[in-house]
Structure 1
């Protein structure tokens, strides 16, 4: 293990140690329940690899605790083969704990925990009894069978297709590995078809992009899944063979979006929790850490709450991160480790859908250095369009952003809402500059000229939380008697 990977591994296990309950053999973390199944599964490889003191005994006990939380009683249930979010919650049951996908049960835990069990049985079988190995295989098989039922519409409200990159790639590993271990041709063929579908989508029209595109958080999980496929997948499986290509092209694209001065990837984001990975963790940061060292890439403070969430998986990632490193070419690596000076970046794209977007979708965003002297990175200010309607035309230029709603009659096309965050205290504290945010006209280190013909700026409101960020809501309403295409245009200049 390299020094960079070892550093990630050590911090991950340290965080796990601080939350481990030896009586329950579980990690404490408040998320629907108190004893977190996924965090416990992620802690296991750290214990078995470190192998100090009673680590191995704890690791084996934790495996048994995780296996006990798998839903296997009702084969017909939508949650068959997945795992409880937490050991201390009830099974889904009408009236008690309403069966609802991503609420009372998470179907993706089959893939998250299943791939973790794959790593455990492939890396550490010499430490496990034959009986425990069989139980792990049984669990992975149940997870695989449950996962194979998902097709984007079934069970009710399901969303797993090849476009759901991180889960689809993990499912291919689960199904392929257990199919090979048990010589089950049905599972082997399903995994092969899944891998072929993922690769065909990735390479469609020569694009070499994933369905979950420019998603800093889920790029981290994708990297785990790809590296694990290389490390543990069947040698002749399409996903095992295709993973190096995806890693290579993915990191080229990450490098193309990365601003080394701001420490962030430019938007827009298909899916994002944090909009600023230097202050709130994105899982891609763990890969950067494990490959290059924590001095590179977007890295929040070690005690940042989202990092303390994400880094629990760090030990598992550290064990396979060499497969990522070996597939990043030298030119790409030089960009990913570079320094920079560009204090402004803008990202946007044009999209249309027939359903709502949700708050992970960021169709247009502006980042700038709102306090360049801040270290380790400049303090990042940003404002992003909150998607309220189904058709958005957004165009980014070197110093401009134009957004319009081509379907002005669609629901939500009567307002442009922007989330502004990252205003440093030196700008607003009365003892400093004492500025008040009243719109885009008075921002630190950013000159903004707004053109919004016919639109009405609403009063700015502060205090709502958008994912990780407390924001100023700056909105422009489209009057009821407006005619034409609603549009807003920004001319931008970094002034520091």
Structure 2
């Protein structure tokens, strides 16, 4: 009998597996045979996290683990949508108690690319007209009635009839769970019963077919991490099922991705992003281990090395973080909502365990341990020691996934100053509506080693920064001592444009309109913008500039002079 895979791993790989599994064991519910979500609400049971847990069980193989993994995988497969004519065919419910998406009202296969964009824009206009008509015809919205609530009710009515992407279903769960099934099939087929292998293969036929139809229709565009997973699963299962059409599709998609990657010196549409780079590196590891053809292996190898070189260019070994600007990011800290610290631990070895602290991506760690790393030699020194102060610029062609497909690619420039104890980022050219695009960023460290960050973001009044808002654009530039940004606001909504500053010992009296005296950093501020409001929280502050349509100018400009 062969020994468990974890016993054949390096000390670093074993550490990742055991640490992650201890965490996931706590969230596993044996009665339900699923993992409670540690990403948002522990009362929910998630399918993707459960699939990663099952893979971890197969890697660890302690007493009862294999049997448990089999139960979990069967349960995850129970939540796949089998609806060939629907846009969500082959994907999975994200949570155990998700309602089934609406059926029978959306002939998406007969629509043109960008249908999701046009529907969303149409419903926005219908909603606005609906509220306008109510205002004209009756008193419902007079005397302070809540028009926003009416819009929400209208949107809910539309969503109950037509399946709204990322509300009633997540198309990306096809790719995430299919990747787990491919690894489980490749590595552990001899441990799994025939019935489970049969069910996984049948589910993967649905998942890959749905993924291919999505890609060909371009109804819902794929961001880079999903595009990589799409190519991998189509390639892997195309060969497993001897589907020549899938094999050809995967080959064409891979060549196209490589051509785009090379166009601007090795960059993705999803550029400089700790969260999604972690997924990218994991999928490139799947190609490295499981690609069937030499050409697919060669393409993945070139992209993997190019990605590591980009990460190195924007990395600061003293701050142990990637500099902005970020095309998409949840957090400014590399060890939050990201697996990059896990990859760096595998590279740097003993003594860097602290880079692997638990976060919402930690369920992927056993998979990452299994896949390993392949870092080009020239990039390694950048992760060991600061390689000198530098001003870097990289161009990339972004994807605005909710924009008109005829105008959803824009050439952007990401610029960054990487200094010994401070780094700053600035984005220009982006027209992305996604709040995850961070156009202005600063990271720094005090003499005492305390770390801080600053970012410029926006939100609808009363809303959240992590949302899609149209008509708001940023044009920023950086030098070693300054950050300048123009903000254009072509929207009918009230918007808060604000600088978020995070770190210990912040004081409101130090945040004056013309100067921010921060621990270890002083910013002089020239602002062509409304008078700011300062809000203080436990470990961060917000400096807010409010845009009111028809009252304030629809343009703001900020010039930040940086002094340490």
For residues 136-155 of structure 1, the C-alpha deviation after alignment (integer angstroms, 9 at most, x for no partner) is 11111211000011138654
State the match for 2:355 in structure 1: 299
Once the two structures are TM-superposed, the CA of residue 413 in structure 1 deviates from its matched residue by 12
1:315 maps to what in 2? 366
Partner in structure 2 of residue 77 of structure 1: 86
The reply to whether residue 337 of structure 1 matches residue 384 of structure 2 is yes
Aligned partner of 2:224 in structure 1 is 165
Counterpart for residue 426 of structure 2: 348
Q: Which residue of 2 aligns with 1:396?
A: 478
Name the residue aligned to 1:36: 46
Q: 1:237 to 1:331 in 2, by over 3 A?
A: closer
The whole-number CA distance in structure 1 between the counterparts of 2:53 and 2:70 is 11
Quick check: 1:223 aligned with 2:268?
Answer: no
SS in structure 1 opposite 2:215? coil
Q: Does structure 1 residue 9 correspond to structure 2 residue 17?
A: yes
- With over 3 angstroms needed to count, the CA separation of the structure-2 counterparts of 1:344 and 1:128, relative to structure 1, is same
Answer 1 or 2: higher relative contact order, Cα 8 Å, separation at least 6: 1
Q: Mean alpha-carbon deviation: is it higher for 107-116 or for 183-192?
A: 183-192
The separation in 1 between residues aligned to 2:489 and 2:231, in whole angstroms, is 42
After superposition, what is the alpha-carbon deviation per residue over 1:245-266, rounded to whole angstroms, capped at 9, x for unaligned? 1111111111111112222111
Partners of 1:481 and 1:35 lie apart in 2 by 47
Q: Aligned partners of 2:64 and 2:352: how far apart in 1?
A: 34
SS of equivalent residue, structure 2 residue 37: strand
* 1:265 equivalenced with 2:326 (yes/no): no
What's 2:332 paired with?
A: 275
SS, match of residue 457 in structure 1? coil
Task: Tell me the matched-pair count.
Answer: 457
Q: Assess if the C-alpha contact under 8 Å between 1:366 and 1:382 holds in 2.
A: yes
Residues 91 and 172 in structure 2, CA contact (< 8 A), matched pair in contact too: yes
CA shift digits 1:197-256 (9 cap, x unpaired): 111111115x11111110111000000111111111222453x32111111111111111
Matched position secondary structure for 1:349:
strand
- Per the alignment, do residues 486 and 26 of structure 1 end up closer, same or farther by CA in structure 2, a change over 3 Å counting? closer
Look up the SS of the partner of 2:56 in the other structure.
helix
Is contact 2:46–2:96 with CA below 8 Å preserved after alignment? yes
Q: CA 1:269–1:21 in 2, change beyond 3 Å: closer, same or farther? A: same
Q: Tell me by how many angstroms 1:372 deviates.
A: 4.0
CA 1:476–1:24 in structure 2 vs 1: closer, same or farther (change >3 Å)?
A: closer
Q: Is the 8 A contact 2:425 2:478 kept in 1?
A: yes
For residues 55-110 of structure 1, the C-alpha deviation after alignment (integer angstroms, 9 at most, x for no partner) is 111111111111111111x2111111011112232311377966321122110000
Change (3 A) 1:366 1:118: same
Secondary structure of the 1:299 match is helix
Q: Give secondary structure in 2 for the equivalent of 1:472.
A: strand
The equivalent residue for 1:475 is 545
Structure 2 match to 1:422: 502
Aligned counterpart, 2:558: 488
Which residue of the partner structure matches residue 201 of structure 1? 260
Q: Deviations over 1:409-453 (max 9, x none)?
A: 73489988232222313x44xxxxx9554454222221111223x
Task: Tell me, in whole angstroms, the C-alpha distance in 1 between the residues paired with 2:435 and 2:283.
Answer: 25
The alpha-carbon distance between structure 1 residues 45 and 460, as it changes in their structure 2 partners (threshold 3 A), is same
Q: The residue matched to 1:451 in structure 2 has which SS?
A: strand
Cα displacement (A) at 1:6:
1.8
How much does 1:287 deviate?
Answer: 1.9
Displacement of 1:119 in angstroms is 0.4
Q: Is 1:53–2:123 an aligned residue pair?
A: no
The root-mean-square deviation of aligned C-alpha atoms, in Å, is: 3.0
CA distance in 2, matches of 1:470, 1:100: 34
Q: Secondary structure at the match of 1:169?
A: helix
In the alignment, which residue of structure 2 is the partner of 1:233?
291
Match of 1:382 among 439, 454, 471: 454
Alignment of structure 1 residues 443-482 onto 2, 5 Å: 443-452=518-527, 454-462=528-536, 471-475=541-545
Task: Choose which of 159, 163, 167 in structure 2 pairs with 1:103.
Answer: 167
Q: Specify the SS of the correspondent of 1:24.
A: coil
Q: Quote the offset at 1:462 in angstroms.
A: 4.0
Distance 1:173 1:216, change over 3 A: same
1:85 alignment partner, SS class: coil
- Paired residue for 1:64? 74
Give the SS at the match of 2:95: coil
1:361 to 437, 456, 461: 437
User: How far, CA to CA, are the matches of 1:298 and 1:382 in structure 2?
Assistant: 23
CA contact (8 A) 2:17 2:56 kept: yes
Aligned residue number for residue 185 of structure 2: 121
Does the Cα contact within 8 Å between 1:352 and 1:392 map onto a contact in 2? yes
**Gap change, CA 1:412 and 1:296, over 3 Å in 2:** farther
3-state SS, counterpart of residue 490 of structure 1: strand
Contact 2:271 / 2:326 at 8 angstroms: preserved in 1? yes
- Residue 431 of structure 1: aligned partner: none
Quick check: 9-18 or 389-398, which moved more? 389-398
- Contact in 2 for aligned 1:5/1:289 (Cα 8 Å): no
1:362–1:385 contact (8 Å) kept in structure 2: yes
Match of 1:358, SS state, is coil
Deviation per residue, 1:117-161 (Å, 9 max, x gap): 000000101111233222211111211000011138654xx122x
